[in-house]
């Protein structure tokens, strides 16, 4: 169990341990976790730039650079070669990063969490409740995480765990749907439990939701009450992971069983209208 407060993301990726973004893939199937290959996309590059600009601004110029022209020709090739060690953003992406950063800095609660906290905190821990079989021996599952923000409360024994998320819709209804779909509460519960294993107690969990389009609003949501549900989901994933690992059977969606009965979604399962306008109920 170790906490690294000055570790770069590349250094974090080299740490041993199962991370949440990998574990989450088992929601689809063990096979999806085992064989998933993460390809870098423009939206992922933008997300990384936003995190760096908001949480590690001193590192931004070392890791990102903007190219405002067309990505072809000798000038582009020379620029790309010169900055091969950096992520190259378009002018539009850089504008988005700046607007998102301004939106976050315009929210007093978000600023308080970030300025008073530790950012990009990497840590590892042993999950003694979930065991792996290695060479005939039973060992604890090794885990790791990288929390966006950990901010101490007035009582320094307790901390606020906060995470930065971008979304098109940051209204309470819209972001609640995103949280349920992306299982953000499971991530927060997992991160909080890992911190607790390192002696860092989390008394409150927050998500800084910032809009990635006009009008670039920013809302801080308290998700503490969702952690119990998230913790249950994570426990189910860990159980499935250990079962698959120990049995060496990484099943796909069908799970090694018989055919799955396919059902249409509710919107497609209603009455059918014929070409003559007659409505037919299908049993």
In this structure, is residue 261 part of a structural domain? no
| Chain segment 67-101, per-residue pLDDT in tens | 988 888 889 989 999 999 999 999 999 999 999 99
Task: Tell me if 262 is assigned to some domain.
Answer: no
Looking at the 3D structure of the chain, how many domains does it have?
1
What are the pLDDT digits (tens) for 168-190?
A: 999 999 999 999 999 999 999 99
Please check whether residue 133 lies inside any domain of the structure.
Answer: yes
Within-domain flag for 105: yes
Domain containing 108 equals: 2-248
Residue 260, domain member (yes or no):
no
Q: pLDDT tens digits, residue range 21-67? A: 999 999 999 999 998 866 666 678 888 999 999 999 999 999 999 99
Give the range among 182-186, 262-266, 268-272 with minimum mean pLDDT. 268-272
Structural domain contains residue 172: yes
Report yes or no: 183 and 230 within 8 Å, Cβ to Cβ: yes
Residue at 150 is within a domain: yes
Find the CATH number of the domain harbouring 242: 3.90.320.10
- The answer to whether position 64 is within a domain reads yes
Q: Which residues contact 149 (CB under 8 A, 6 or more apart)?
A: 55, 113, 114, 117, 118, 119, 121, 160, 161, 162, 163, 164, 208
Q: Say how far apart CA 127 and CA 234 lie, in whole Å.
A: 12
Distance CA 19, CA 149 (A): 17
């Amino acid at each position: 169990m170790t906490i690294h407060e000055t570790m770069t993301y590349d250094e974090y990726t080299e740490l041993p341990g199962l991370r949440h973004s990998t574990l989450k893939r088992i929601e689809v199937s063990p096979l999806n976790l085992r064989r998933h290959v993460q390809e870098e996309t423009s939206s992922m590059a933008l997300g990384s730039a936003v995190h760096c600009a908001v949480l590690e601004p001193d590192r931004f110029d070392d890791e990102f650079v903007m190219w405002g022209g067309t990505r072809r020709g000798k000038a582009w090739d020379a620029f790309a070669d010169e900055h091969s060690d950096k992520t190259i953003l378009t002018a539009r992406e850089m504008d988005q990063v700046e607007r998102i950063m301004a939106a976050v800095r315009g929210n007093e609660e978000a600023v308080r969490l970030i300025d008073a906290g530790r950012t990009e905190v990497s840590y590892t821990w042993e999950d003694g409740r979930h065991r792996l079989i290695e060479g005939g021996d039973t060992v604890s599952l090794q885990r790791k995480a990288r929390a966006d923000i950990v901010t101490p409360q007035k009582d320094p024994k307790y901390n606020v765990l906060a995470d930065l998320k971008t979304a098109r819709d940051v209204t309470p209804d819209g972001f609640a749907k995103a949280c349920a779909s992306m299982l953000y509460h499971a991530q927060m519960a997992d991160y909080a439990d890992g911190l607790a294993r390192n002696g860092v107690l989390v008394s409150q969990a927050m998500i800084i939701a910032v809009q990635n389009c006009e009008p670039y609003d920013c809302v801080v949501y308290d998700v503490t009450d969702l952690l119990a549900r998230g913790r249950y989901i994570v426990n189910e994933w860990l159980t499935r992971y250990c079962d698959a690992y120990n049995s060496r059977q990484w099943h796909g969606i069908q799970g090694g069983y018989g055919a799955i009965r396919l059902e249409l979604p509710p919107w497609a399962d209603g009455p059918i209208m014929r070409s003559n306008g007659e409505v037919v109920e299908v049993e």
